[in-house]
């Protein structure tokens, strides 16, 4: 399988995050991608650098005001105090409900809160560089499929599926799956399906396409009543306006058995087949693994091979986009198992 990878991901390397109110070392680290890269290299996959620039696509997925902030955020942070280079900025106030979000505040921390859904997505000096490289890989993946390949893997980080049109969150800054889907539409696809199999609901992807009929978004994930992102991902969220009926959520209880997870996958695949997409984008979260430190599904390494083989049977050009998965040493094996299962399925 062709694997798109840029070493620029290493530029995003914050030291710590806040997890459920506690300051802890970051779960989302450069080592995640390095483990995956090593596994793909060991199995002989074709590693290539992304070739396409996503700059023209990004404003089709994200609001320009948000992109401008994200690109300049670290410079703004340093402008407040040069010693801020040794610190990580975090938001402390958010424009919830009756508060206004149409006026961008002058205060940096308030701007950061305006564009953040949580305080668990730490910025570092290289965040924009890494996030943009991920988006370039997503755009390049669309090009690979447009040139006739049937499968491609975006080995990128930080992940993207929690990032909405105008906000970051859940370690995500640019929504790579949405960029890939939009790029495929720009290259002639009439219908694109997105399948999100991350443990956590891809709230950003859902919100970006919620009122559109050209992109079907399906997701199986931990029940948001108990699992992040908490405020989106319920089964009654089916799309709106032109997109009514083009969003399918399959929330599962924490600790759901493997058989239950694969039953939900079958439901998602059946909906995708009815949609008859020209291409499929898979938000490949691997935090469904039984050993993941912040999730509670029970998939084993062999189950990821089964996942890849099942997706192969959809007979659709497929772009895999790496999302979550924080059992870092096992991440490479699980990712490569998906790819090999797809190749051999």
Catalytic residues, by residue number, are: 162
Q: Which residues make Cβ contacts (< 8 Å) with residue 261, sequence separation at least 6?
A: 220, 252, 288, 297, 298, 299
Contact call for residues 288 and 262 (beta carbons, < 8 A): no
**What DSSP assignment string belongs to 16-53?**
EEEETTEEEE-SS-HHHHHHHHHHHHHTT-EEE-----
Residue 162: partners with Cβ closer than 8 Å, 6 or more residues away: 117, 168, 169, 170, 171, 172, 200, 202, 203, 204, 229
Cβ-based neighbours of 86, under 8 Å, separated by 6 or more: none
**CA neighbor of 50 nearest in space, from 103, 1, 8:** 8
């Amino acid at each position: 399988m062709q694997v798109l990878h840029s070493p620029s991901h290493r530029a995003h390397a914050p030291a710590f995050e806040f997890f459920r109110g506690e300051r802890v070392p970051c779960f989302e680290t450069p080592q995640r991608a390095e483990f995956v890269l090593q596994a793909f290299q060991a199995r002989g996959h074709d590693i290539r650098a992304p070739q396409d620039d996503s700059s023209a696509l990004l404003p089709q997925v994200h609001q320009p005001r948000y992109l401008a902030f994200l690109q300049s955020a670290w410079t703004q942070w340093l402008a407040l105090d040069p010693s801020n280079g040794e610190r990580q900025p975090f938001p402390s106030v958010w424009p919830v409900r009756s508060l206004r979000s149409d006026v961008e505040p002058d205060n940096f921390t308030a701007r950061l809160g305006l564009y953040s859904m949580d305080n668990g997505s730490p910025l570092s000096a290289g965040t924009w560089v890494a996030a943009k490289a991920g988006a370039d890989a997503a755009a390049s993946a669309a090009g690979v499929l447009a040139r006739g390949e049937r499968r491609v893997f975006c080995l990128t980080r930080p992940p993207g599926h929690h990032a909405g049109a105008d906000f970051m969150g859940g370690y995500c800054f640019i929504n790579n799956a949405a960029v890939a889907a939009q790029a495929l539409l720009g290259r002639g696809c009439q219908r694109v399906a997105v399948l999100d199999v991350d443990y956590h609901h891809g709230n950003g992807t859902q919100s970006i396409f919620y009122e559109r009929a050209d992109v079907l978004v399906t997701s199986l994930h931990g029940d948001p009543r108990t699992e992040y992102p908490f405020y989106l991902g319920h089964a009654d969220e089916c799309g709106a306006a032109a997109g009514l009926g083009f969003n399918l959520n399959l929330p599962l209880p924490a600790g759901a058995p493997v058989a239950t997870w694969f039953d939900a996958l079958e439901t998602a695949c059946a909906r995708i087949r009815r949609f008859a997409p020209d291409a499929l984008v898979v938000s490949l979260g691997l935090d469904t693994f039984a050993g993941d430190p912040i999730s509670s599904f029970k998939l084993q390494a062999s189950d990821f091979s089964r996942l890849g083989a099942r997706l192969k049977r959809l007979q659709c050009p497929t772009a895999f986009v790496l999302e979550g998965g924080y059992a870092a040493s096992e991440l490479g094996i699980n990712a490569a198992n998906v790819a090999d299962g797809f190749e051999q399925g």
